[in-house]
Structure 1
């Protein structure tokens, strides 16, 4: 995955609590190969009516919110099934950061595994963002663990290991591959020991 750098963007305010993964990406769209192509189906049941026509008032369909890379959510975002496709859909659509007061644990971890920064803030701060900050630029500084909006600064917590992975762009697979030579040596030695004529 790509290393995470500082990001500046306005927010997309999704003013709905308890959003489950089946709403983020409905089950009928889980058959694609790979991790891309899911963005067009993000929040499909809310973005389109029964005839496939975009609904006028859903936030992702409003032109003023196009191209924004930060999703602002209410509490308990990402509950329900553990499908990683939910994160793939959000990332494929263009979201690099999700801000909210609480998230389902599995969804939360899946985000970081896919290079999406999740920021937990106090519920009162989230309320303030919804009510007064929807058209302000958010400057996200991962190294300083800060959100800067105009003259206001909001600090956030993040596990140091997760932070390092985001900054370096190293996912679990790439971290494992750092030890490829040791793994290869171990497998070769194991194969020799398993040969019939080998001396134990």
Structure 2
């Protein structure tokens, strides 16, 4: 997974609350393989009308927002069902960071495990940022190391779980995070093997036999 440290990119405003995972990726598109990509179906029923024609007033369809890698939205983003494809759809569309006052818990975990930053900002900061974007501005810098968002001449702090921050900064999966403690794990195994040899099934070779 690609590490996330700092990102300078266009931001797209999505002034909506309670955008759920069923809206982020409708279930009818989830039968395709992951390798085929989900980006074209992000927020499909909001971006397109019944005839599959793009709605010109929807933020992600506006020409000046093309190529946006940051999405700014309101509270409770990613609520609803646990579908991991919601994170796939955002990433495949080019979104690397979502800024919102709050997120669905399972969505946040899925996002981090796929390299997408769910950054929590205070509600008044989000509203100020949405107004700044609505005025025609676009470029922001998201710095995960300092947990600061810079937009124009203004800087706002954002929050993220410290373990998730560590995973994103290093591009780690849960397995990588566990292996980062390998020295301590090995030391525990050696000590436990000496203390309770009867509890081990590997015979006299000790924990090294486990690989």
Indicate the TM-score class for this superposition, using the shorter chain for normalisation: 0.7 to 0.9
Counterpart selection for 2:167 from 156, 165, 172: 165
**Alpha-carbon deviations, 1:145-180, whole Å to 9, x = none?**
11112322211222222111111101124445676x
Q: Does 1:41 align with 2:41?
A: yes
Q: Which residue of 2 aligns with 1:9?
A: 9
Shift of 1:20: 1.0
Partner Cα distance (1:141, 1:177) in 2: 26
Contact in 2 for aligned 1:36/1:88 (Cα 8 Å): no
RMSD: 2.3
Which runs of at least 4 in structure 1 moved beyond 6 Å after TM superposition?
none
Mapping of residues 98-109 of structure 1, within 5 Å = 98-109=98-109
TM-score w.r.t. length of structure 2:
0.80
Contact in 2 for aligned 1:72/1:99 (Cα 8 Å): yes
Q: Unaligned 5+ residue runs, structure 1?
A: 183-188, 193-200
CA separation of 1:88 and 1:171: change in aligned 2, threshold 3 A: same
Q: Which residue of 1 aligns with 2:121?
A: 121
**Alpha-carbon deviations, 1:21-56, whole Å to 9, x = none?**
111000001112236510001111111111111122
Shift of 1:88: 0.6
Contact in 1 for aligned 2:10/2:67 (Cα 8 Å): no
Partner Cα distance (1:190, 1:25) in 2: 47
**Alpha-carbon deviations, 1:38-83, whole Å to 9, x = none?**
0001111111111111122111111110001000111111111111
Range 83-92 or range 142-151, more displaced: 142-151
Contact in 1 for aligned 2:10/2:70 (Cα 8 Å): yes
Q: Which residue of 2 aligns with 1:19?
A: 19
Q: Which residue of 1 aligns with 2:195?
A: none
Q: Which residue of 2 aligns with 1:112?
A: 112
Partner Cα distance (2:175, 2:49) in 1: 40
CA separation of 1:141 and 1:39: change in aligned 2, threshold 3 A: same
CA separation of 1:36 and 1:170: change in aligned 2, threshold 3 A: farther
Mapping of residues 1-200 of structure 1, within 5 Å = 1-34=1-34, 37-134=37-134, 135-175=137-177, 190=201
Q: May I ask how many residue pairs the two structures share in their alignment?
A: 187
By percentage of residues, which structure has more helix?
Answer: 2
